[in-house]
Amino acid sequence: MKLSCRTGALALGILSFSDFLTPALALPKTLWAQQRAKSHGKKVFASAINKRYTNDTTDDANDPEDCYVKTAADIAAPKDNIWAGLTDGEAASVTAWLFAQPELNLTTSGEAGEWDNTIILVELMAPNKTDALAYLDGTGSAPDRYAHAIIDHAAGEDAYYGDIIVGPLPVVNGTTTWQPLEYPYSRKTSGRVRNLDASSDSLYEKWIYVIGAEVADITMDLWGASCTGSDNDTLDIWGIDPTYQEGDSVKMWNTFWSNPTTIFDVGSMMPMGLFFLSDITGRDISKWKMEGWYYNGVFYETTEEFRAAYWNGEVEKLGGNFDGDWADTDQQGDVPPFDTLAPPVSMIPQGSRYSVDPGRKYVEWMDWSFYIGFDRDRGMTLWDIRYNGTRILYELGLQEALAHYAGSDPVQSHVAYLDTYYGFGPFAFELLKGYDCPSYSTFLNSSFYVDETTHTHINSICLFEFDADYPLARHSSSNYVTATKNVHFTVRSVSTVGNYDYMFSYTFFMDGSVAVEARASGYIQAAFYALNEEYGFKIHDHLSGSMHDHVLNFKADFDIMGTENTVEKVKQVPHTTTYPWSKGKVFNTMKLDRSFIETEDEGQLFWSFNNAEQIFVVNQEVKNSVGESKGYRILPYTGTAHLTVEGSTVLKNSAHWAEHDLMITKQRDTEPRSSHPYNNQDTENPPVNFATFFDGESLNQTDLVVWFNLGMHHVPNTGDLPTTVFTTAHSGIQFMPANYFDVGVNKRTVNMVRVNYDDGEATEVATFGSGGDTCELNYEPAAVDLWEYVGDVVVRKFPYLPDDPYYETDSIV
């Protein structure tokens, strides 16, 4: 999540199999993909599944062949996954086609300098909902496929990014065209956004390292360390994000950080407290200006002024932050009692109880089904989520994540990371089996495009079933007791955007509810402690746990019994009244105020004081058997947050979605996303300004979208050392059926029990066929060999070298 000098060497592997990518469509599988797919559904036959579905275990379902379902059952998705991404061949052909378009004037990234045009992105252009529904609901053919590409137009003085689409696919020379992509963005500039990073190489080579060398005398004296651009630098220099933009001027505050001396990724906790300001407007470096230095509360207009003060002894030497055992994550300290014994572990005695189409990334668990999509900006998205065949959500996924810092120093006060600039896709690394997800999980791959290659994160999405440590429902009386297991299903990915690890979990429950959770771990970005008392706790010798707000925006496109929906608010309010039976006596009691959100003017909501207001997405035209509108309630699950800062000087118009908790808009194909990865390139006039979504449209029985924020106000303390912990750094939301079914659908599971008892003896133990399956139980755990952890696989697209993959994993730091 921080800008720094990158030093990624391409490590060429020696593998020769042909394809690491999970195909998006049901195309012929490469050898490699075939091998992956084979590991799913081993020895499972459709007939056995169907038998289990009908709870018929009396006949040849007993065949031991049918019983071994250790991995997820194979299933064919009912439709193609129209969000799964480009096929390997499509990406290669689009890339080649783009290089063939002379007007784009493209150079390959390996050969390009700062003044060359390059391809930043080639991925699937997600279909419009209008087209997608026509296909999914059987009345239309699959939407035409287009590639979404971004061209870095760096060849001119006014560098800009260009969003374009290429298609329709497959590429046919002479037919295929490209056009500017503008309709999904609120800013109508033909998909063009200025590129403030076009001179980033020069910024380091010709500016930052020069300045670092210029003050090396001081940094050596202060800390015995320096940053000059040399391989053995002991300091790093990086600073604010976004760059500070005002009118046409672009300014950059940078600061010094000590370099880690071990493998541990602790750089963001090593600030040194010395800052400098540069005016880096435009691409003519000769016009850039050094605008001053800041240290311990004092601003110096020039380097000379700072140097004079320093060597005159006017600058107090405050020390610096350096790594050490305190900052690394390896085990340290007294081992707690019994800790070396194996801890509890979850297992699946009769194997996985769900079905996956790994090619189409389609999943069925119990009565739930959905497709998984993945893109560069946002990582994983769930699509077409259905219960018992009926759609509940068309789309559910992350949009953007903001980490807005504050501090008395000029770096922390200017930092407001908008993480899709880096992207959640590129950093959704391989998961640790048995740690990030149970060892028996099904793991899927995910891919993203960079530098004419497609990187594939192996095993980066996990699917697993789990029995909670509490039941779903229960009741005791003096003569019977009953309880239902709370078995649920989770889809998870983790994106490590620089210092921070975001874990995203989507969980489905037997009662029809869904939970969306985000957890944060990894290293904090800390501040130098000087004068930051009002902005954080002191957490180490010279370190402030710099306060910041995490706000993560999600899109939940509900379709409750069709697309025509309304948001209903049901508020419990104090109420003073008389009743026909109260003989005039005034009662202090409470009642419900029910109202509908009529238009987008009322569409931006805060969670209510005392959680008094309940929010429902209902279909007023579709009633349950007793006449209430079918709906889903949206309720806060664990701590949520919107942005504390009001009118942020740093963000300007780039993150208006962070200002409320829940936001409702009319679904428009022209408003598919709340943010754009280049919103930080023009904060005043970003490509997607979420505020423009609210233009008074009716929300009464229309297709609507709920945008909600998860997050936390983070004031790190020593408990965040070395890394923040998921136990308390979490935020979640739940969707629960409300008057949607006539009774709780959890009644359908057989994983419940009723015990009748009397006079000290159980008189009946009713198990409803649970455990009735005759397949053998196997409590041996899924073996995990962590030596199989490999990192990302890369396949070059231009030239297209599908048989020459290699391994390389890039993180931000």
Residues with catalytic function: 419, 500
The Cα–Cα gap between 756 and 298 comes to 77
Which of 734, 796, 797, 798 contacts a copy of itself by CB under 8 A? 734
* Subset of 175-204 contacting a copy of itself (CB under 8 A): none
* Subset of 347-406 contacting a copy of itself (CB under 8 A): 347-351, 353-355, 364, 366-367, 404, 406
The Cα–Cα gap between 453 and 457 comes to 13
Task: Kindly state whether residue 323 participates in binding a copy of itself, applying the rule CB under 8 A.
Answer: no
Sequence-distant (6+) residues with CB within 8 A of 92 are 797, 798, 800, 802
Minimum distance between the CB of residue 32 and a copy of itself, rounded to whole angstroms? 14
Minimum distance between the CB of residue 715 and a copy of itself, rounded to whole angstroms? 6
Task: Kindly state whether residue 419 participates in binding a copy of itself, applying the rule CB under 8 A.
Answer: no
Binding string, residues 247-276; x marks residues near a copy of itself by CB under 8 A? ----------------x-x---------x-
The Cα–Cα gap between 427 and 503 comes to 12
Sequence-distant (6+) residues with CB within 8 A of 130 are 669
DSSP 3-state of 386: strand
Closest to 380 (Cα-Cα) out of 434, 445, 437: 445
Task: Kindly state whether residue 604 participates in binding a copy of itself, applying the rule CB under 8 A.
Answer: no
Which of 24, 98, 567, 752 contacts a copy of itself by CB under 8 A? 752
Question: What's the distance, CA 310 to chain centroid?
Answer: 45
Task: Kindly state whether residue 235 participates in binding a copy of itself, applying the rule CB under 8 A.
Answer: no
In contact, 491 and 461? CB cutoff 8 Å: yes
Give the binding range for a copy of itself (CB under 8 A) out of 97-105, 118-126, 172-180, 769-777. 769-777
Task: Kindly state whether residue 727 participates in binding a copy of itself, applying the rule CB under 8 A.
Answer: yes
Minimum distance between the CB of residue 259 and a copy of itself, rounded to whole angstroms? 14
Phi-psi region of 531 (alpha: psi -120 to 50; beta: other; left: phi over 0): left
Task: Kindly state whether residue 617 participates in binding a copy of itself, applying the rule CB under 8 A.
Answer: no
* Closer Cβ to a copy of itself, 135 or 264, answer by number: 264
Enter the tokens of residue 614: 């309940």
Minimum distance between the CB of residue 484 and a copy of itself, rounded to whole angstroms? 8
* Closer Cβ to a copy of itself, 33 or 277, answer by number: 277
Closest to 20 (Cα-Cα) out of 40, 9, 34, 39: 34
Residue whose structure tokens are 């990624």: 8
In contact, 540 and 270? CB cutoff 8 Å: no
DSSP 3-state of 276: strand
Minimum distance between the CB of residue 403 and a copy of itself, rounded to whole angstroms? 13
DSSP 3-state of 467: strand
* Closer Cβ to a copy of itself, 185 or 293, answer by number: 293
Task: Kindly state whether residue 15 participates in binding a copy of itself, applying the rule CB under 8 A.
Answer: yes
Minimum distance between the CB of residue 118 and a copy of itself, rounded to whole angstroms? 22
Minimum distance between the CB of residue 658 and a copy of itself, rounded to whole angstroms? 11
* Closer Cβ to a copy of itself, 102 or 336, answer by number: 336
Q: What is the DSSP secondary-structure string of 2-68?
A: ----------------S--SPPSSSPPPPHHHHHHHHTSSTT--HHHHHHHHTT--SSGGGSHHHH-
* Closer Cβ to a copy of itself, 59 or 330, answer by number: 330
* Closer Cβ to a copy of itself, 394 or 735, answer by number: 735
* 3-state secondary structure string across 634-701: EEEEECCCCCCCCCCCCCCCCCHHHHCCEEEEECCCCCCCCCCCCHHHCCCCCCCCHHHHCCCCECCC
Question: What's the distance, CA 120 to chain centroid?
Answer: 20
Which of 17, 25, 43, 57 contacts a copy of itself by CB under 8 A? 57
Task: Kindly state whether residue 289 participates in binding a copy of itself, applying the rule CB under 8 A.
Answer: no
Beta bridge partners of 417: 403
Give the binding range for a copy of itself (CB under 8 A) out of 32-40, 176-184, 198-206, 569-577. 569-577
Which of 34, 35, 261, 611 contacts a copy of itself by CB under 8 A? 611
Minimum distance between the CB of residue 348 and a copy of itself, rounded to whole angstroms? 5
Closest to 366 (Cα-Cα) out of 267, 257, 489, 545: 489
Minimum distance between the CB of residue 721 and a copy of itself, rounded to whole angstroms? 4
DSSP 3-state of 225: coil
The Cα–Cα gap between 462 and 442 comes to 6
Residue whose structure tokens are 């159980």: 762
Binding string, residues 573-602; x marks residues near a copy of itself by CB under 8 A? xxx---xxxx--xxxxxxxx----------
Task: Kindly state whether residue 447 participates in binding a copy of itself, applying the rule CB under 8 A.
Answer: no
* Closer Cβ to a copy of itself, 24 or 61, answer by number: 61
* Closer Cβ to a copy of itself, 400 or 511, answer by number: 511
Cis, bond preceding 28 (omega within 30 deg of 0): no
Minimum distance between the CB of residue 368 and a copy of itself, rounded to whole angstroms? 9
Task: Kindly state whether residue 570 participates in binding a copy of itself, applying the rule CB under 8 A.
Answer: yes
Task: Kindly state whether residue 464 participates in binding a copy of itself, applying the rule CB under 8 A.
Answer: yes
The Cα–Cα gap between 402 and 412 comes to 14
Minimum distance between the CB of residue 485 and a copy of itself, rounded to whole angstroms? 6
State the sign of the Cα–Cα–Cα–Cα dihedral 227, 228, 234, 239.
positive
Whole-angstrom Cα Rg for the chain: 28
Give the binding range for a copy of itself (CB under 8 A) out of 24-32, 108-116, 673-681, 784-792. 784-792
Task: Kindly state whether residue 470 participates in binding a copy of itself, applying the rule CB under 8 A.
Answer: yes
Task: Kindly state whether residue 326 participates in binding a copy of itself, applying the rule CB under 8 A.
Answer: yes
* Subset of 479-538 contacting a copy of itself (CB under 8 A): 479-487, 490, 492, 494, 496, 501, 503, 505, 509-513, 519, 521-523, 534-538
Interface size with a copy of itself, residues (CB under 8 A): 229
Minimum distance between the CB of residue 9 and a copy of itself, rounded to whole angstroms? 10
* Closer Cβ to a copy of itself, 224 or 769, answer by number: 769
Task: Kindly state whether residue 113 participates in binding a copy of itself, applying the rule CB under 8 A.
Answer: no
* Closer Cβ to a copy of itself, 771 or 799, answer by number: 771
Question: Which residue type is seen at 91?
Answer: A
* Closer Cβ to a copy of itself, 234 or 408, answer by number: 408
* Closer Cβ to a copy of itself, 444 or 753, answer by number: 753
The Cα–Cα gap between 440 and 168 comes to 40
* Subset of 627-686 contacting a copy of itself (CB under 8 A): 627-628, 633, 635-642, 644-650, 661
Task: Kindly state whether residue 36 participates in binding a copy of itself, applying the rule CB under 8 A.
Answer: no
* Closer Cβ to a copy of itself, 312 or 478, answer by number: 478
The Cα–Cα gap between 122 and 211 comes to 37
Minimum distance between the CB of residue 383 and a copy of itself, rounded to whole angstroms? 21
* 3-state secondary structure string across 591-621: EEEEEECCEHHHCEECCCHHHCEEEEEEEEE
The Cα–Cα gap between 537 and 524 comes to 13
Task: Kindly state whether residue 719 participates in binding a copy of itself, applying the rule CB under 8 A.
Answer: yes
